[in-house]
A and B are shown apart, each in its own frame.
Chain A
Amino acid sequence: MANAKSKEQVSPIGADLPRNDVYEKVTGTAVYTDDFQFGNKLLFARAKRSPYPHALIKKIDTSKAEKLPGVKVVVTGKDFPNRIGLYLQDKTIFATDRVRFIGEPVAAVAAISDEVAMKACDLIEVEYEELEAVFDAEFGASDKAPLIHPDLENYVCPNFIFPKAKTNIANHFKIRKGNVSAAWEKCAHIVERSFKVPHIQHVPIETHIAVAQMDEKGKVTVWASSQSPFAQRNLIAHALHISQSDLRVIAPLVGGGFGSKAGVTMEAIPVALATKCKGWPVKFILTREEEFYTNFVRQGLTIHVKVGCDKEGNLLALKNMMYWDGGASTEYGTNVTRAGGYSSSGPYDIPNVETDSICVYTNHPIGGAYRGFGMSELHTGLDQAIDELAEKAGIDKVSFLKRNGVTEGDVLVTGLIMHKNGIQECIDNVAKSLKFNEKEKPSSADRLRGKGIAIMWKAPAMPPNPGSSAWVEMAEDGNVTVGLGGQEIGQGTFTVMAQMAAAALGVPYEKVRIAGPVDTQYSPYEWQTVASRLTWSMGNAVVLAAKDARRQILDVVAEAWKENTEDLDIINGVVVSYKSERETSLENIVIYGMPKDNNEGWMGGPIVGRGSFMPKYVTNLDAETGQGPRAVVHYTVGCEGLDIELDKNTGTIYVLKGAASFDVGKAINPTLVKAQVEGGFAQGLSSAMFEEIKLVKGVMTNPSFVDYRIATAPDMDFPLDTPFVEVPQDDGPWGARGVGEHPMVPTIAALGNAIYDATGIRLTNPPYSAEKIYLAMLDKGIVK
């Protein structure tokens, strides 16, 4: 016993272990997609894009392009008519009969150099007949708007998406809980306000890239910077009419995703080209300008909020009307709309809720998944209306949030019963960090000071049954390799998975490797790296695989030692017996097994653990009321606050301090949790102060870093406090749940509330730029 105890392992769970990809990343040896070498046969792809927001394609003439020396292949939409989409199948790889946004690919070229490919695109002649376009979601939803997808009723979609035939409404999600109209009469205070949240871009520093090659037998390999190698395998195979097994996606490290590299976007273009030049690899990299508007963007939202409470400050009723500017395709965006609907109360306990969350086709760039998946947009309106309501009710904001925050047992908007959560502690943490209820003076007479606070929630937004799987293998040296299909996009999932495998198996963290890059030919299935679901879902699969391997090892050793498995353990990579105090290292036995006594032969063999996890309890919701037993797997909740000063002469915001607190269930790696929260807060603040895709008649007028500014290091020059809360998730590994997206969800509202506190001005349309603030102060007479 003494022996085994002395070896007691320090748990890798909850430990600040170093990232397992960091050495490569600081030495420049980490491999991203563009770092692969493809040899002299490599072809370069470029796309011919639509210059019109909405037009019929009358004729495409590719003959001049085809004759240009160096051009290998030119493709158009006629060869790829299959519609694909993650949720609503409304998109083709290339526009076929009509274009629906500026930048939509119409044709593509593969050539021996990028220059030749670009020149060839210029030589493709397309004749268009312009159509009336839709640039506003509310107008688009009306019966006056021209139809963007006249065949909508024929599109395939799952039974939880509700498109309306002969309209531009791609999804209409409804909540009807309680009796809202009756509840208004009982309200002592009501706030009604509209907000408009603009389109923004994810801005990964690595733009989208994919390389595709088809072999002589017709099997396709794709190398892509991807959050979704398995979803891409499925969707691209569908688009090309080939079998999923004949499409292999290899996904190296990702230089930032934030949702933009989920689903399928530009990856299908080099694949289409590769099918026409077997044996030749075709590389397609988006330019920074293309990155800004030709791929997924965060869709715009117009939200009308009406919310009321009784005189004690208890929320009684909420009415939400949301129009999402889904863009030219809503294949992914329809589910953002759905998420905005089933979470439309925010983390507040409200008995009467009526929500209409409407996804509208427009002739704008395509809306897709973006970190937070609808929640930032929703909370921007909701949390500012709540802030105003608290003031109207004469209740301090912290108390108002605490009084109304969701608690265990609350019946949520969909009928789901809320689980245990730490929202009260999150609010307390932020309030304490910012001394929220102390009114503090600005640093000079030229400045105004204000504090803002906002709470949030978000559930993983996904189909009811997205699966995860994992395997665990070991080498002769006793080191462990974990196979998984989720992606390392910077969040640190490979590190967290190694920590979990180490803990579940009983080996030191340093002995665990992750089998990368993810490759659909060898890696186990993972739905997508989205929705802050990996720590929870893939984590469960990895733990099951590690436990399976552990059991196999212990069974062999128990048999060899003629002991009971229950008396054995693996500690620090050594199998020990609590009963006999025997021990053996894992080396060799995990491959060769163990000899039986008396030269009777062998037992065991190579150890392979397997794990698979899929939530099985999520149900569909009623189409008319949005009610059902279990809308989502769980919610992560949190709170953010800002203490700011505003320069009266310029409108410039100076953040004095930020605070962010989220209930992560269990922080498997506290440093990584804090790093996620810091980065998310910065992205949220950047979107709150600077970011907007400026669209004028469908044209993005600011597609560069000069004109579309994101937060730089000097913008983040303030202390940011990030205490986390750990109320365990009942089905999470060690109680963990995700926190990847959440930190950017409440930031716009928190800043808006701080600006209000400083100025008495409620700004409704972010970004809250210095110019906007200054003009509002001028208008209000705060400055002259």
Chain B
Amino acid sequence: MTLKTITLTVNDMVETVDVPQNMTLLQMIREKLSLTGTKNGCSAGECGACTVLMNGEPVNSCMVLAAECEGATIVTVEGLAKGGKLSKLQEAIVKAGGVQCGFCTPGMLISATALLNRNPHPTDTEIRSAIVGNLCRCTGYVRIVDGIKMAAK
């Protein structure tokens, strides 16, 4: 398979990566950049575990080809805390008790970060609709929504 060399920014670092044409952004993040915080739950864009920010928008990274990411700015869960300090949202999710098995957490945090970036004071309904594509089987979403609300205060 022919490789394509792409340059992109991931969590504020400029990276140049050789990627096969059929490699997904998710595979590139996990396998080429060893950022294993982003999870794979379905490889089909249905569960949201692999959500990352691409140019500020949340995307299912399993549905994006890495080769399309030339020049893109990507933020993964590893990019949310700065200098060892958790983001306000991360702090709030911890405080609210919104984490159980943790497998949906990275994607959930990214979707909620995107929401709060574009809408700092969302309603309950807006919060729930922003994470409708992030499946969680452990929490019933109760404390995840509480955490996002807490962060929006």
Q: Does A308 make an interface contact (CB < 8 A)?
A: no
Contact residues on B (Cβ < 8 Å of other chain), bracket: 35 or more
- Contact residues of A: prevailing secondary structure: loop
**How does the 8 Å CB contact mask read for B93-114 relative to A, with 1 for contact and 0 for none?**
1100101111111100100000
Stretch at the interface among B2-10, B64-72, B132-140: B132-140
Q: Does A25 make an interface contact (CB < 8 A)?
A: yes
B101 A206 Cβ-Cβ under 8 A: yes
Q: Does B78 make an interface contact (CB < 8 A)?
A: yes
B102 A490 Cβ-Cβ under 8 A: yes
B102 A203 Cβ-Cβ under 8 A: no
Chain B: which residue is nearest A490 at the CB level? Answer: B101
Q: Does A539 make an interface contact (CB < 8 A)?
A: no
**How does the 8 Å CB contact mask read for B9-25 relative to A, with 1 for contact and 0 for none?**
00000000000000000
Q: Does A26 make an interface contact (CB < 8 A)?
A: yes
Q: Which residues of chain B have C-beta atoms less than 8 A from A181's C-beta?
A: none
Assuming A491-B100, A679-B140, A682-B140, is B41 touching A29 (CB within 8 A)? no
**How does the 8 Å CB contact mask read for A196-213 relative to B, with 1 for contact and 0 for none?**
000000111111000000
Q: Does A713 make an interface contact (CB < 8 A)?
A: yes
Q: Which residues of chain B have C-beta atoms less than 8 A from A671's C-beta?
A: 97
In the complex, A25→B80 CA distance in Å? 12
In the complex, A25→B140 CA distance in Å? 18
B80 A27 Cβ-Cβ under 8 A: yes
A205 B104 Cβ-Cβ under 8 A: yes
Chain B: which residue is nearest A202 at the CB level? Answer: B137
**How does the 8 Å CB contact mask read for A436-458 relative to B, with 1 for contact and 0 for none?**
00000000000000000000000
A205 B136 Cβ-Cβ under 8 A: yes
**How does the 8 Å CB contact mask read for A671-703 relative to B, with 1 for contact and 0 for none?**
110110011111100000000000000000000
The interface centre, meaning the residue of A25, A204, A254, A683 with most chain B CB atoms within 10 A of its CB, is A25
A 23-62 contacts with B by CB, 8 A: 23-32, 34-35, 37
In the complex, A34→B49 CA distance in Å? 14
The interface centre, meaning the residue of A26, A254, A256, A678 with most chain B CB atoms within 10 A of its CB, is A26
In the complex, A206→B107 CA distance in Å? 13
Assuming A27-B37, A683-B137, is B103 touching A204 (CB within 8 A)? yes
B94 A22 Cβ-Cβ under 8 A: yes
Q: Does B149 make an interface contact (CB < 8 A)?
A: no
B142 A720 Cβ-Cβ under 8 A: yes
Q: Does A182 make an interface contact (CB < 8 A)?
A: no
Assuming A256-B138, A258-B137, is B124 touching A206 (CB within 8 A)? no
Q: Which residues of chain B have C-beta atoms less than 8 A from A679's C-beta?
A: 100, 137-140, 142
Q: Which residues of chain A have C-beta atoms less than 8 A from B127's C-beta?
A: 713
Assuming A492-B100, A710-B137, is B46 touching A29 (CB within 8 A)? no
Assuming A28-B36, A704-B46, A705-B135, is B99 touching A22 (CB within 8 A)? yes
A705 B47 Cβ-Cβ under 8 A: yes
Chain A: which residue is nearest B1 at the CB level? Answer: A115
Q: Which of B81, B132, B138 contacts A490 (CB 8 A)?
A: B138
Q: Does A126 make an interface contact (CB < 8 A)?
A: no
Q: Which residues of chain B have C-beta atoms less than 8 A from A704's C-beta?
A: 42, 44, 46
Q: Which of B44, B47, B80 contacts A205 (CB 8 A)?
A: B47
Q: Which of B42, B90, B134, B141 contacts A288 (CB 8 A)?
A: B42
In the complex, A202→B94 CA distance in Å? 25
The interface centre, meaning the residue of B37, B43, B93, B144 with most chain A CB atoms within 10 A of its CB, is B37
Q: Which residues of chain A have C-beta atoms less than 8 A from B61's C-beta?
A: none
Q: Which residues of chain B have C-beta atoms less than 8 A from A24's C-beta?
A: 102
B 28-76 contacts with A by CB, 8 A: 34-44, 46-47, 49, 76
In the complex, A249→B94 CA distance in Å? 30
Q: Which of B37, B86, B124, B139 contacts A675 (CB 8 A)?
A: B139
B139 A678 Cβ-Cβ under 8 A: yes
Q: Does B143 make an interface contact (CB < 8 A)?
A: yes
A205 B135 Cβ-Cβ under 8 A: yes
Q: Does A716 make an interface contact (CB < 8 A)?
A: yes
Chain B: which residue is nearest A720 at the CB level? Answer: B142
Binding site for A on B (CB under 8 A): 34-44, 46-47, 49, 76-78, 80-81, 86, 90, 93-94, 97, 99-106, 109, 124-125, 127-129, 131-145
Binding site for B on A (CB under 8 A): 18-19, 21-32, 34-35, 37, 202-207, 253-258, 287-288, 489-492, 671-672, 674-675, 678-683, 704-706, 710-714, 716-717, 720
Which 4 A-B pairs give the minimum distances between C-beta atoms? A28-B37, A682-B140, A490-B101, A255-B103
A-B contact pairs, 10 of them (CB 8 A): A22-B94, A205-B49, A253-B101, A257-B101, A288-B43, A288-B44, A672-B97, A678-B143, A679-B100, A713-B134
